[in-house]
Structure formats: structure tokens, C-alpha cells
Structure 1
Amino acid sequence: MSSAILSETDKDHPCHYLRDQGFADYTPEDHATWAALARRQRAVLRGRICDSFLEGLDALGISDEGIPDFRVMNARLRATTGWEVVAVPGLVPDITFFTLLAERKFPAGYWIRKPEQIDYIEEPDIFHDVFGHVPLIMQQVYADYLEAYGKAGLVAARQGTLHRLARLYWYTVEFGLARTEQGLRIVGAGIASSPSETVFSLESESPNRVGFDLGRVMRTNYRIDDFQETYFVLDSPDAWPALDLEELIPLWRELDRQGDLAPADLLESDMILHRGDGGYHAAKRDAA
């Protein structure tokens, strides 16, 4: 299916981007950087991340001892959900990304940040991609959601609606929250791999926290330069949205008529779980 939906040339075909992880090439410093990141993040995630994430970490052998070997992880992933992690040199084109997801392959950078970048890097590295994203792929409903997302992305590329899918990914896979019996918990990889946003997303008075609605999310712009002004909250950690193309395509057309929303906007129709005071972003604007 994917080969028939690729772009007009083959430049975006996944074969041009896949690499060997080169596990033997990691230095002791690389493994030490991973270990420091993983220890810190496991500690801050305790009581804040959904249980299925921690279960996935343990089941995959993703520890704080050093960088995981994709070969070991993939044997466990394939046996559980039929997925595998594939190494790529960095960000890949949209069509490549969607094609890989549609084939149940998750692209992950194989390089790791330098020790001086331990608190922040601009481009996702192996820690973000593997520690943040891969544990939940052991959850069948999430694994199926990612595959459906990839297939929807290939269609969206033809429909001119890739921005809708980008927003959906951002507010679920990267920065999603979910309700549990114990309270709100993190399900997004962008939060799960960031100690500062882990705390901010759940405990700050600044951001809005709004019940998830598919159309609402796909109308909403997001921030790439700072903490989010709004977080969308799934009904549960396994309540990933169904992506039925027969429903998505007319929804995209309807959203084009409604117009976009700013990251901090709230609507009367929103299920507002927490109305943020906007203090964090207001203070930064005042200081600029």
C-alpha cells in the first residue's frame, strides 16, 4: 500500500534513511550520558506517568545502565505488538515518517546528545525517541493507533491536510495527558523525556488542561519553542482516538471552514479540567 502512495519521486522512500544502529560504536561517555538521563527521568516520572509506560520500559529492558540495543528491543516488540524500531540519522521527511509508521516501524535517531546538552537539545536524539516513545508501543491499542496514524498521514498528504495530523501527533503522542483513577498522568513522549515539562504539565497553574476532542485538537496550533499553553487529556491511558478515514476526510473539510485556534484559546464547548492562569508565558513575555 505505502509504495503506491509515495510522493512523485522515490526520494522519500524509507530505504534512503534507514541505518544500522551501530551499537558497538557507542563510547563509554555515550552510555554514561544515557544512564544519567534515564536515572533522572525515572525518578521524576514516578507518580506522574501512566503505568503502561513503566511496564513497557521494564518489558523492553530499557534501563539506566546504558543505551539499549535495538536488536534486543525489537525481538520483544515484534513478539508483543508486531512493531520494530529502525535507526535513522535524524528527522525524516513527512512521507517517509508516515510510511514507516504504516508499516509498524518506529524511526529513532541513533545518536545521543553530548553531556553539556543533557538538559536540552533542539533535535530529538535516541533518548527522546527510545526512552520517550518506545515503551508505549508495547501497549496494543497504542501500537494500533500509531499504525492508523501513519496510514492517515499518507492520505492527508494527498488531501493537503498534513497540518491537521501534525497537531494530532503533537497533542497526543508528544504532549498528551490522560485521566486515571489516581489523577492525571502523562502519556506523551515529549513530556516523558523532559524533567521540567513533566512537572509543568501536571502541576503548574499556568496551562489549560482540556478534555480530548479530535476535531478541537486538529484545529489548535501548538508551541515548538516552550512549554505548551494547553494540554489535551484522554479519557484513559488506552483511549487513543480511532482514525477512520471515512470520518477523517469530511472532518478535515469541516475544520477548514472553522479556522484555526491559538495554543491558549478556550471554547465554550471545551471540557475544561483546569483553566490555566497563563502566568508562565505572561511572565516570559513581560521579561522579553
Structure 2
Amino acid sequence: MAATHIFDAPPEGVAADWTMPQNWAAFTPEQHETWRTLFDRQAVALDRYACRSFLEGLEILRRLKPGVPDFAELNALLKPASGWEVVAVPGWIPNEPFFEHLANRRFPAANFLRPPEQIAYSEEPDMFHDIFGHVPMLTDPAFSDFLVAYGQAGLRAEQLGASDFLGRLWLYTVEFGLVVEDGELRAFGGGLMSSLAETVSALTAPEPKRIWLDIERVMRTGYHFDRLQQTYFVVAGFGELLRATEETDFASVYRKIADAPALEPGDACPGDVAYEGRLPAGPADGEAAR
């Protein structure tokens, strides 16, 4: 089934910048129950696998009333803690307004929640993915500044026709990134945080490649939308991720790789430096299926 929350122009009730009223009162008891089930399941399971910044930032969501977050209540806690605010959007939005929001510390969150029959896996990023998966990381200062720098780079990439290359950096860091903490690998990407099965695979399975982050390499690498990634990129810390973003001349990288063949997600590449440090212990029998 194809994603349904994709628009070419702002639909009725959506502003020119693609924001919209959340209309929190319209969410149903069933949707609030779906949120509570998802939140309770993921928050407990990820304690073994998520990075420290995510687990600390999750406390903001714990302070909200149970059920689908009221963005006004969330922003009253988030903005003083991080400088960020969440804005409701109808789903996938075009690149330019997405980058503009990030550059101004506004995080776009889909204003719909997966139905109960998709509780284990949503076919498109929904509110749970956007809020649970990403908002806790906004409280980390270095990661927060990285997102602003990414938004600014995105606006420049739009002018250069290079947004697809930059999008790969988003996928392999903000969605599926891994970080080393206290000598052990931890997850921080929102696509991992909202999928326990992929988190466990990314951190403990023998099959995936785990490679130290190289921006040019990332920008050449394709990714999967419909199955687990075969390659994950590792950073030593969020300060390093921010520095790499600020110090890289993205325009030069775009020119260099413009005519280079894309790498398939599982390909090896000359120059890859594999992460060979400690991995977390694998799950107990049946745990990854939760």
C-alpha cells in the first residue's frame, strides 16, 4: 500500500509554509490508546539500546498527559529546554519548507497517527515516528545545532539541485545513525527509535555493515524504504557530526559525485573504515519481535 499523506501543494486548511493547526481535541480515544501502547512498548525496550541523549530527552514526553501529545503542551516544555518547537504538517512536505523549518528550529511533525492494525510498523512516517523518534534528540545541544546546519545546507542544496545527495545524509544520520558512548555502540536515529526490530538488528546482528561516517561516502549510498538497512554509519559523538557538517564544502562534494555511480545499500567501498568496537548484547529470545 502506497503512502497516502503526500501532497504537491498545501491542501485545504494548511498554510503556505505547510503548517496546520494540530486540532488535538479531534484525536479519538482509540488513537490515544494506540499512542500509549506504542510509547510504553518502545520506551521500555529501548533502554538497552538508545543513546544517553535520547533517553534523557524522552523525559519531556513522559511529562505530558497520557495519549497523543498536545503540541502546545509539548512546546511549552521543549522550547525552554532546547530552543525548538514542533509544528504540525499534513505528512510529507516539499524540501524547501522542510529545510526552512529546520534552519529556524521548527521540527515538522505529521499530524496523523498510524491505525491500530499498523501498530507494529507504519507504512509512512507518522506522528509517533516524528515525535517519539526525533523530539528527544532535539534536547542535545550539538545534535540540535547539527539539524539547524543541515536545514541551512538544505536550502543551499535546493539552489544547486543536490537535495537528493543531502537527503542521504539525513537518512543515514537523523534516521538510522549510530553513536559510540562509553566504548559501546548506541542508536540515535529516529527510524531506529520507532522500530525496535531494526534497532536490535542495527546494533547486534552480524550481517549489517557498520562504517565510520564519511559524508561523501554517505551521499553516494542508496537506502531501503521497505526493509532493514544493510549499512549503518557511526559517529564518535554529536560534536563530531556537527563539525563534519560545518567543515565540509558540500558544493564541492556534490560536484565530485555528480557523475559517480551510486552505491547500492550493501556495497563495500574503497576507503570504508569499519567500526570494530563493542556491540551491545543481543536480545533475549523473542525480544526483537516486540
In structure 1, what is the equivalent of residue 219 of structure 2?
Answer: 218
Match among 263, 280, 284 for residue 261 of structure 1: 263
Give the aligned residue type for 1:264. G
Q: What root-mean-square deviation, in Å, do the aligned CA atoms of Structure 1 and Structure 2 show?
A: 2.3
Assess if the C-alpha contact under 8 Å between 1:179 and 1:185 holds in 2: yes
In structure 2, what is the equivalent of residue 181 of structure 1?
Answer: 182
Assess if the C-alpha contact under 8 Å between 1:109 and 1:129 holds in 2: yes
TM norm structure 2: 0.85
Deviation for aligned residue 1:257: 4.6
Within the alignment, does 1:195 sit opposite 2:196 as a pair? Answer: yes
In structure 2, what is the equivalent of residue 56 of structure 1?
Answer: 57
TM norm structure 1: 0.86
In structure 2, what is the equivalent of residue 272 of structure 1?
Answer: 274
Gaps of 5+ in 2: 1-8, 277-290
In structure 1, what is the equivalent of residue 208 of structure 2?
Answer: 207
Give the aligned residue type for 1:263. P
Assess if the C-alpha contact under 8 Å between 2:212 and 2:274 holds in 1: yes
CA shift in 2, pair 1:64/1:270, >3 Å: farther
CA shift in 2, pair 1:202/1:248, >3 Å: same
Give the aligned residue type for 2:166. L
Assess if the C-alpha contact under 8 Å between 1:187 and 1:237 holds in 2: no
Partner secondary structure for residue 164 of structure 1 = helix
Deviation for aligned residue 1:245: 7.9
Assess if the C-alpha contact under 8 Å between 2:145 and 2:242 holds in 1: no
Partner secondary structure for residue 231 of structure 1 = strand
Distance 1:164 1:262 in 2: 14
Gaps of 5+ in 1: 1-9, 275-288
Deviation for aligned residue 1:218: 0.9
Within the alignment, does 1:15 sit opposite 2:16 as a pair? Answer: yes
1:151-162 maps to which residues of 2 (within 5 A)? 151-162=152-163
Match among 225, 247, 250 for residue 248 of structure 1: 250
Within the alignment, does 1:28 sit opposite 2:32 as a pair? Answer: no
Give the aligned residue type for 1:270. D
Distance 1:103 1:172 in 2: 20
In structure 1, what is the equivalent of residue 107 of structure 2?
Answer: 106
Within the alignment, does 1:127 sit opposite 2:100 as a pair? Answer: no
CA shift in 2, pair 1:91/1:100, >3 Å: same
* Aligned sequence identity (%): 43
Residues 119-143 of structure 1: CA deviation (Å, up to 9, x unaligned): 1121111100000011100111111
Distance 2:211 2:270 in 1: 11
Deviation for aligned residue 1:64: 8.9
Partner secondary structure for residue 22 of structure 2 = coil
How many residue pairs match? The answer is 266
Assess if the C-alpha contact under 8 Å between 2:10 and 2:18 holds in 1: no
